[in-house]
Amino acid sequence: MGAYARTIALFFLLTGIFVLFGWAIGTVWLGDWITGAILFLLLAGAMNAIAYFASDKIVLWSYRARIVTEAEAPGLYRIVRQVTQQANLPMPKVAIVPTQTPNAFATGRNPEHAVVAVTEGILRLLSEDELRGVLAHEVSHVRNRDILVMSVAATLAGAISFMARMFWWNSLFGGSRDRNGNGAATILAVVGMVLAPIAALLVQLAISRSREYKADYSGAKASGQPLALASALEKLEVENRRRPIAFGSPASQSLFIVNPFRGGAFVRIFGTHPPIQERIARLQALAQGVDRY
C-alpha cells in the first residue's frame, strides 16, 4: 500500500507542476493567473484521461505492433499462456513488433486490457527458457499494474517537458502581459521552466527503476529460472546497444525490458532502467538463495 501511496503522490506532484505553469503563464502573459491555472488543470486532467484510456493503442501504433492469433504464433502463445496462468491472470493479447532489435514490452490499463508484445528479433535470439523469463517479467508488470503507472508518468512527464520548451521559446520571442509588474511571477516562471523537465524526469525514473527490479524478481520467481532471465538480459543489452530500434519514441522506453534506444553517458546515468549488471547480479544471487531485493 505504501508503494501505491507514493505513486499517487508523484502523480499529484506532476499535476501540481502542470498547474504551476498555468499560474505562471496566466500571470506573465495573460494577466489572469486564475484562468491560466484552471486551463492547465483541465489540460492535466485531459492528459491523464488520454494516458489511461489510449496509452496502449498509442504505444502499439508507434511501434507498428501487430496483434497476432494463436494460429500465427503457437509457440509464443503457449509460453504467454503458461506464465499468465501461473500469475492467475486472464490471457492478454499478443503482439509482434516488426524489427530485428530483440526486446519485449507490455501495455494496457489493467490485466483485462493487457497486451504483451515481443519483437521478431527476440524470438530468434533467445532460448525458450530465456523467453519464458522475459515474458514472466512482462506479465509481472501487468499483474502489478506497472504499465498504467509508467504510461501515465511518461505522458505527463513528456507534456511538462514540452510545455517548458514552449515557455522558453515564448520568453525569447513573445511578449509579457504582466500588467501588475509582478517580477516574482516572472522569476518563478523562469525557475519553473528550468526545473520542470528535471522534476518530470526524476519522477519518471523513480517510478520506473524500482518497478524493473520488482518485475525481475517476480518474473524469476514465477519462471523458477532466475539464471535464464539473467542470461536473457545480458543478450538483450548487447544486441540493443549494437542495433537500437529504428522507430518509436524514447518517451516510452521505460515500457521495454531493456532500453531499446542508443544513449550516451547522460542517458545511462539518468535512464529509465537500472544498470543491467546490477539486475543480472541480483538474479544470480537469487539463484543461489540470496535475496538482494
Q: What positions carry a catalytic annotation?
A: 138
The beta-strand segments (E) located in the chain are: 66-67, 93-97, 104-107, 115-119
Q: Which three cell numbers stand for residue 208?
A: 520506473
Q: Cα separation of 50 and 289, whole Å?
A: 43
Q: Is 232 exposed, middle or buried (0-12, 13-18, 19+ CB in 10 A)?
A: buried
Crossing angle of helices 128-143 and 74-86, in 10° steps, is 50
Cβ contacts of residue 111 below 8 Å, gap of 6+? Answer: 89, 90, 92, 142, 143, 145
Burial of 73 (0-12, 13-18, 19+ CB in 10 A): middle
Instruction: Tell me the C-alpha distance between 47 and 185, whole Å.
Output: 25
